[in-house]
Amino acid sequence: MNFNSHTDVVVRVAVDLVNLLTPGEDRGRRSAPPEGDERTAAVGAVLRGAGGREATWDADNSLPNGWAAGCATGLAVVLGGSRSDRLGVCTAPRCDRVYVDTSRNGTRRYCSTSCQNRVKTAAFRTRLS
């Protein structure tokens, strides 16, 4: 399932940035957002992964604002549309990471296969005891 090519990119970037910059629990471990230069590098890596160019990221102050506007617009389109249920928060214990569900049937419950496997392993161990 895809929203459209532009919305897909900005919503994925928004999800990645929320998970990167929000303290909490990530796949069963405490998560703290990076700070200082490490934060700049981590945000740059997210944007590079989405097709942004790091050299422009460092030199052009309008690029972060452009991404922020794009992410906000993409989230508004998704949240205001019929597919708002495609955004979610991981249901695994000790994880509060967000995700965008691009699966065909729209039944995603976890932020990652790591969380999915943790839940399955815990259920298996419970059945054995």
| Residue 52 Rama label (left phi>0; alpha psi -120 to 50; beta) | beta
**CA-CA distance, 46 to 21, in Å (whole number)?**
11
Q: Build a one-symbol-per-residue string for 19-58: x at contacts with Zn ion by CB under 5 A, - elsewhere.
A: ----------------------------------------
Q: Which of residues 53-92 bind Zn ion (CB under 5 A)?
A: 90, 92
Smallest gap from residue 80 Cβ to Zn ion (A) = 26
Does 111 engage in binding with Zn ion (CB under 5 A)? Answer: yes
Give whichever of 11 and 111 is closer to Zn ion, judged by the CB atom. 111
The answer to whether the beta carbons of residues 22 and 95 sit under 8 Å apart is: no
The answer to whether the beta carbons of residues 50 and 13 sit under 8 Å apart is: yes
The answer to whether the beta carbons of residues 20 and 46 sit under 8 Å apart is: yes
| Token output for 96 | 């509060």
> Which segment (9-17, 32-40, 70-78, 109-117) binds Zn ion by CB under 5 A?
109-117
Size of the site for Zn ion (CB under 5 A): 6
Smallest gap from residue 92 Cβ to Zn ion (A) = 4
Q: Angle, to 10 degrees, between the axis of helix 62-79 and the axis of helix 5-21?
A: 110
> Which segment (8-16, 50-58, 62-70, 96-104) binds Zn ion by CB under 5 A?
96-104
Contacts with Zn ion, residue ranges (CB under 5 A): 90, 92, 95, 97, 111, 115
